[in-house]
Structure 1
Amino acid sequence: MLDVKNTGVFSSAFIDRLNAMTNSDDGDETADAELDSGLANSKYIDSSDEMASALSSFINRRDLEKLKGTNSDSQERILDGEEDEINHKIFDLKRTLKDNLPLDRDFIDRLKRYFKDPSDQVLALRELLNEKDLTAEQVELLTKIINEIISGSEKSVNAGINSAIQAKLFGNKMKLEPQLLRACYRGFIMGNISTTDQYIEWLGNFGFNHRHTIVNFVEQSLIVDMDSEKPSCNAYEFGFVLSKLIAIKMIRTSDVIFMKKLESSSLLKDGSLSAEQLLLTLLYIFQYPSESEQILTSVIEVSRASHEDSVVYQTYLSSVNESPHDIFKSESEREIAINILRELVTSAYKKELSR
């Protein structure tokens, strides 16, 4: 289940829908994606409205708690090691904390040796702050170390903390190290690449079969992040991040549409072309619409022995036609791609009829 004790600004129906995504089997990846598919556009709009409402509510929230907070799950969010190993490390740090005052360099070195990721270091220190009978000096020193770790990298640290539970859940589902997923979420929050490049990057890093799951992971991590005591972004930044996520979900919608087109065509039957290769071609068309003909050249060269050119061109034309318009930078770029593809279809049909 989605690890949110207080769903905060989100409706229970929205949280239930997201929990259903996490609990779905691998075979239901396409079904997950279709929750925001252009084939069911009202669902996509509902999701966008929920996110807009969430952002509005986030802006109006009160100041959050100070450094120590009231979290009791700091240790559960640590990703560096198995549970028993983490328990041992935390126990050793607690023992060292009681034996050393003031805290010396050895304590800090041990902390960084045990937990290499800054988010895990902060979580471990917060766990120590929950210890009873700490002196005022110990609290002050632990707080100072936390502030030193966070200084200049607060967004990255908080993003790593807030995505940790989801990284564990999805890491288990995808058979991936949760640290990789945490890095993925950080990259999404802090990165500045185009949404199509982001989708291509995830496709390359996590594989064709996991591409929809990664979008679900990022979405759920973002929800937890926004609803956390110490979010990674301010309201303005979250607005930008939400717009990126919505754009990526539009690309996933196009992905779903395209896969349905491929399933109903003959392009995948002889094995000369892979679904991943064909999807990448579509993504490149979204990025460089004026070069659509050149982008399709490599596909045509491979497919020509088994398929008519018109089948390839028509598949891409109908997919672009049915995809959300805002995938393109402008309506004019979309029209450029459609016009080029339409001309290619017409030309291919004429050649095939003249044989």
Structure 2
Amino acid sequence: MALESLPMARFRSAVGIGDLSNVLVKMQDDAEVKVEKGSFSVAMTMADDMSALLSSFLQNNRAAKAKPSSPESIAEECEASIKEKTPNCVVKINDFAKGGVMTAKQLLNYLHQLFADPTEIALLLHAFILMKKKKKDDDELPDISSDILESALENLMKGPDRKKIKAGINSANTARKFSLQLKQNEQSLRKAYEGFITQNIDPLEIYQMSIEKFGIENRYAVLDYYSQALHCDINSYDPSCSLLEFGTLLEANFRMNILRSADQMFMSKMNEGEYIPSTNERDFRLLDFFFHIILQPDETKNLTIELINNCMRYYSGSDKTNFVQQIYSAIKPLPFAIFADDLADAEKMKMSIENTLAMIIDGFARFTHIGRTYG
């Protein structure tokens, strides 16, 4: 289903494959704006738009790509990789090659002994092949021919890790860019993206796992990393996934960004008023409540009482009634569709949560003689 405000035909006729990432990013940004304005049912259709756009562009342009990923197309990543590994890496491989006649299979087996990450091996082989071409008069691997290197790379890319390797190569530049911001090494970030495209799990679970792995303070930056890595992968010379797989990943990525918008709305409301400065511990408790109330709306009463017991110490001059009113105000603007795929069911779940919170407020108000206010 295409949005009237974003007709697909206009994008198909105006944009080439090289601009696909920018188009997809713009569509996601537009979707997040619509979510913040409350037009969630409209924004959700953009996931289908992105999938359709992806399919249209790649079907029209992939036919022109007759060969697998060329060394030149990933030169920057290869050069960075070889700089990190030399000179010890080259010395070890040269020493191994001097032991006698070596086959591509033997070289590949030896590299697997040196490096646990197959993406590192692929980047190094690409880099060695590039060195052979660039430095014919100053060959750093004189005992290993280009044919052996190319055969080893070909065998590696035919193996069981080929999908992860392609994803790792295509996300390498993005991982490098985000490594400082997220305080993670590039290999860890590449593996995170590889896991994102290979693990068939719910977007909410991916969101939670990202917080556990990278920290609550980095959760928005991690989603930016996944989005940019995915778009780079889609637009790469040799994408890691099929059209159908990318469509599914785009939808998962889109849903995570919807969750981020809901997360931001919830936390913004919970941060209104006279609170002590935000801490990771307090934010984690609030987010844990946010996730659980989405997953277990029937447990709203117990979850709210637990949150009250855990979080009242973070608030200055606030009683339980005001605190639950704050929760109610934070839940009220959240979009229905984060609770269920079926909007009718989602609306019922959200209304049930709101009604339960209203009952809790009423109960506290009777004891404190404070007037009831909702929202």
TM-score, structure 2 normalization: 0.74
- C-alpha change, 1:7 and 1:235, in structure 2 (3 Å) is closer
1:127 aligns with 2:127: yes
Distance in 2, Cα, partners of 1:292 & 1:78: 54
Matching residue's letter, 2:147:
V
Counterpart secondary structure, 1:233: coil
- C-alpha change, 1:188 and 1:304, in structure 2 (3 Å) is same
Match of 2:356 among 334, 343, 346: 343
- Counterpart residue number, 1:193: 201
1:125-178: CA deviation from partner (whole Å, max 9, x where unpaired): 22333323799x852663255324541222111111111111111002222111
Identify which range, 139-148 or 329-338, moves more after superposition: 139-148
- C-alpha change, 1:109 and 1:270, in structure 2 (3 Å) is closer
Identify which range, 253-262 or 40-49, moves more after superposition: 40-49
Distance in 1, Cα, partners of 2:159 & 2:278: 56
- Counterpart residue number, 1:258: 266
- Counterpart residue number, 1:326: 337
- Counterpart residue number, 1:315: 326
- C-alpha change, 1:150 and 1:171, in structure 2 (3 Å) is farther
- Counterpart residue number, 1:61: 61
Match of 2:221 among 199, 213, 234: 213
Tell me the CA shift for residue 221 of structure 1: 0.2
Distance in 2, Cα, partners of 1:35 & 1:270: 25
- Counterpart residue number, 1:238: 246
Match of 1:8 among 15, 18, 38: 18
- The alignment of Structure 1 onto Structure 2 pairs a total of residues equal to 336
Contact 1:166 1:220 in 2 (8 A): yes
Matching residue's letter, 2:18:
G
Tell me the CA shift for residue 237 of structure 1: 0.5
Tell me the CA shift for residue 297 of structure 1: 2.5
1:352 aligns with 2:354: no
- Counterpart residue number, 1:23: none
Distance in 1, Cα, partners of 2:217 & 2:280: 19
Superposed CA RMSD in Å reads 3.9
Tell me the CA shift for residue 211 of structure 1: 0.4
- C-alpha change, 1:199 and 1:68, in structure 2 (3 Å) is closer
Matching residue's letter, 1:8:
G
Distance in 1, Cα, partners of 2:100 & 2:26: 47
Tell me the CA shift for residue 40 of structure 1: 4.8
Distance in 2, Cα, partners of 1:273 & 1:39: 26
Q: What percentage of residue pairs aligned between the two structures are identical?
A: 22
Matching residue's letter, 2:36:
L
Identify which range, 176-185 or 9-18, moves more after superposition: 9-18
Contact 1:78 1:164 in 2 (8 A): no
Tell me the CA shift for residue 308 of structure 1: 3.1
Matching residue's letter, 2:70:
G
Distance in 2, Cα, partners of 1:33 & 1:275: 27
Distance in 2, Cα, partners of 1:190 & 1:270: 35
1:98-143: CA deviation from partner (whole Å, max 9, x where unpaired): 99644377633442244321011112222333323799x8526632
Tell me the CA shift for residue 214 of structure 1: 0.1
Contact 1:202 1:211 in 2 (8 A): yes
Counterpart secondary structure, 1:159: helix
1:282 aligns with 2:290: yes
Identify which range, 154-163 or 313-322, moves more after superposition: 313-322
1:3-43: CA deviation from partner (whole Å, max 9, x where unpaired): xxx9614265767999xxxxxxxxxxxxx999657325689
- C-alpha change, 1:67 and 1:128, in structure 2 (3 Å) is farther
Matching residue's letter, 1:251:
L
Distance in 2, Cα, partners of 1:106 & 1:272: 50
- C-alpha change, 1:128 and 1:88, in structure 2 (3 Å) is same
- Counterpart residue number, 1:169: 177
Tell me the CA shift for residue 287 of structure 1: 1.4
1:200-246: CA deviation from partner (whole Å, max 9, x where unpaired): 11111111110000000000000010011221110000011111001
**Structure 1 gaps, min length 5:** 1-5, 19-31
1:62-115: CA deviation from partner (whole Å, max 9, x where unpaired): 2434346242534625887x8353465357647976996443776334422443
**Structure 2 gaps, min length 5:** 1-15, 137-141, 369-375
Counterpart secondary structure, 1:152: coil
TM-score, structure 1 normalization: 0.78
Distance in 2, Cα, partners of 1:343 & 1:72: 57
- Counterpart residue number, 2:77: 76
Matching residue's letter, 1:227:
N
Matching residue's letter, 1:66:
K
Counterpart secondary structure, 1:116: coil
- Counterpart residue number, 1:107: 107
- C-alpha change, 1:97 and 1:153, in structure 2 (3 Å) is same
